[in-house]
Amino acid sequence: MKTNLLPALKLTLVSLLFFSGLYTIVIWGIACLTPNGGNAQVITVNNKKYYSNIGQSFTDDKYFNSRPSAVGYNAAGSGGSNKGPSNPEYLVQVKARIDTFLVHNPDVKKAEIPSELVTSSGSGLDPHISPEAAFVQIKRIAMVRNMSEDKLITLVTKNIEKPLLGLFGTNTVNVLKLNIDLENAK
């Protein structure tokens, strides 16, 4: 042990400089050369800055609503509800969300509510909903905003992001981008 201690200390020090120091600086240097300079992707609308990958809380009837969040869409932290599938308290909460949704969307049948609109995401910052979850909100928004449903359908369709190469993954809609388009459409 004794013969190994000094070499171990020295090797620790040089590898600390190499892997934590040099590697980090190289990656940081590459990041600085990219278009957004190593910051997350940002959208600027009317001089207001938003992070396009960080979901926002949309609860107002005039917006396409985002999913429930365990951290209130405050990206100072992140996390899910961690509620187990059989937790009675949790199931009551889901039921309450369904009822609330039906009150705000009286024309929607229960069987049409996609489950993600009443369940919270893993990060609490999910920027997306599924296309179905956007379509199901159209009637409400058309009413509140006095817009034609066809126009809203076009808007949502335009915002659908297809699976990677059309092959891998899910269809998604970025709620923030959709709502920005919605505001501009007026």
Partner 1 sequence: MNTEIIGVVGMFIVTLLLAIPLGKYITNIYLRKKSILDFLFNPIEKFMFRISGIDPNKEMNWKQNLTALLTINFVWFFVCMFILMNQGWLPLNPDGNPSMPPDLAFNTAISFLVNCNLQHYSGESGLTYFSQIAGVMFLQFVTAGTGMAACAVVFNAMKERQTESLGNFYNYFLRSCTRILLPISVITAVILIFSGTPMTFEGKDTIISMQGDTVQVSRGPVAAMVAIKQTGTNGGGFFGANSAHPLENPTYLSNMVENILIILIPIAMVFALGYYLNKRKLSWMIFGVMTIGFLLLLVPTIIQEMKGNSAITVMGIDQHLGSMEGKEIRFGSAASAYWGITTTVTSNGSVNAMHDSFTPLSGAFTMLGMMVNSLYGGVGVGFLNFYIFIILAVFISGLMVGRTPELFGKKVEAREVKIAAIIAILHPLLILAGTALASHYAANDTQMGWWFNGNAKGWLNNPSYHGFSEMLYEFTSSAANNGSGFEGLGDNNPFWNISTGVVLLLSRYLPIIGPVTIAGLLANKKYIPESAGTLKTDTVTFGIMTFAVIIIIAALSFFPALALGPLAEYFSMG
111-140 positions binding partner 1, by CB under 8 A = 111-116, 118-130, 132
| Residue 67 structure tokens | 């999913």
- Nearest CA-CA partner of 128 in 118, 139, 116: 116
If DSSP codes are grouped into helix, strand and coil, which group holds residue 48? strand
Q: Using CB under 8 A, which of the segments 87-95, 139-147, 150-158 binds partner 1?
A: 87-95
Distances (CA, A) of 175 to 12, 78, 112, 135: 47, 18, 19, 12
Report the residue number, 31 or 157, with the smaller CB distance to partner 1: 31
Rounded (10°) CA dihedral 31, 35, 41, 42: 130
Contact pick of 23, 107, 149, 154 for partner 1 (by CB under 8 A): 23
Phi, psi for residue 92 in degrees, rounded to 5 = -65, -40
Report the residue number, 10 or 150, with the smaller CB distance to partner 1: 10
Tell me the three-class secondary structure of 151-163, residue by residue: HHHHHHHHHEECC
Site for partner 1 in 139-158 (CB under 8 A): none
Minimum CB–partner distance for residue 186 and partner 1 (Å): 14
Q: Is 83 in the site for partner 1 (CB under 8 A)?
A: yes
Q: Is 53 in the site for partner 1 (CB under 8 A)?
A: yes
Q: Is 159 in the site for partner 1 (CB under 8 A)?
A: no
Report the residue number, 11 or 150, with the smaller CB distance to partner 1: 11
Q: Is 50 in the site for partner 1 (CB under 8 A)?
A: yes
Q: Is 5 in the site for partner 1 (CB under 8 A)?
A: yes
Minimum CB–partner distance for residue 129 and partner 1 (Å): 6
Alpha carbon distance 159, 132 (integer Å): 12
